[in-house]
Amino acid sequence: MNRISFSGDLERNLRVIIARSYVRIVGGFREPSWLIWDTFLPILNLSAYVYVYKVMNAPPEFTGFVILGGAMMAFWLNVLWDMAAQFYWEKETGNLEPFLIAPISRMAMLMGMAIGGIFNTTIRALGILTAGILIFQVEFLVSDPFAALIVFALTITALYSLGMVFASLFLMYGREAWHTSQLLQEPIYFLSGFYFPVKFLPFWIQVVASAIPVTFGLDAIRRILILGAGLQDVSFDIVALAIFSFVLFFMARWALRYMEGLGQKEGRLTLRWQ
């Protein structure tokens, strides 16, 4: 396994990114029925929270909070299952060796998966938003599209950088990491405020939730698209997301190098035999 940096062979790694993106994008449209179910089933789940808010006579913007949370949930699930578990799945199916002996950057491979996943997941998220607008009459007040674009880009960067960190952890810890991610899935939905704003939680829970990048991104996107906030109103969230993106990107780089080093020194890619 030769370690080749992304800058060491730019052209080769760009080809890897394009190739892995192409596979994800084309594969996402191979079965059109998946697009329908990936949009319809989340709306059924979100509708329960929408009607709970209606029964409680909550302000109408809470319906928009739920729909936006459902759209961002699609990205979180894509990061967790399609990005983080990729190397683990390849190991289970016996395809990991060709990936690791190829003279390419492992980060370039994951970046290609991320770009392809972002494309497919964005289509599904737009489907959820469209269904929410048509069914529940959600109104958006986009007063600053530039701020919304910045927040969305930083949120996606932070999330997929986290996914690259998880990719190494899932491979090194195997089933333990898989089971832990399933165990923490619902608590993360709760802490990140997918169904309601985090500001309604007790302060100490908000502190814990601040360790999850999607918490800041979801809060800022809701304030911009539903409450009509501007760039200055979400400046704290933008700074937090930028820090998350920077730190997680270099953590992912370190984790991938550690994974390769473990294989070179000890002849294995897990921290314990499984």
Mean pLDDT, the chain, as a whole number? 81
Q: What local confidence, expressed as pLDDT, does residue 193 receive?
A: 85
| Distance (Å) of CA 94 to CA 98, 102, 272 | 9, 15, 18
Residue 65 belongs to some domain of the structure? yes
CA distance 274 to 14: 34
In a domain, 57, yes or no: yes
More confident residue, 169 or 63: 63
Evaluate if pTM is beyond 0.85: no
pLDDT greater than 80 at residue 36: no
Q: Does 1 score more than 50 pLDDT?
A: no
Domain tally, the chain:
1
* Residue 175 pLDDT > 70: no
- One DSSP character per residue, 130-145 reads HHHHHHH------S-H
pLDDT band at 266 (very low <50, low <70, confident <90, very high): low
- So what's the pLDDT on residue 238? 93
pLDDT band at residue 271 under the 50/70/90 scheme:
low
In a domain, 1, yes or no: no
Over residues 49-71, the mean pLDDT reads 87
pLDDT band at 269 (very low <50, low <70, confident <90, very high): low
| Assigned domain for 245 exists | yes
Instruction: Report the pLDDT value the prediction gives residue 110, as an integer from 0 to 100.
Output: 82
150 is a domain residue: yes
Expressed as residue numbers, the domain containing 118 is 10-266
The predicted model gives 254-271 an average pLDDT of: 70
List, for residues 176-190, the tens digit of each pLDDT value. Answer: 766 777 777 788 888
Alpha helices per DSSP H over 29-57: 32-55
CB 174 within 8 A of CB 261: no
Interatomic CA distance for residues 85 and 91, integer angstroms: 10
Q: What is the mean pLDDT of residues 63-78?
A: 86
273 domain residue, yes or no: no
Give tens-digit pLDDT for 77-89. 777 777 777 777 7
Checking if the pLDDT of 91 tops 60, the result is yes
Give the pLDDT confidence score for residue 10 in this predicted structure.
77
Q: Is residue 86 part of a domain?
A: yes
* CA dist., res. 143 & res. 228, Å (int): 5
* Spatial CA neighbour of 172 closest among 94, 44, 262: 262
Tell me whether residue 81 is in a domain: yes
Q: Are 219 and 193 in contact (CB under 8 A)?
A: yes
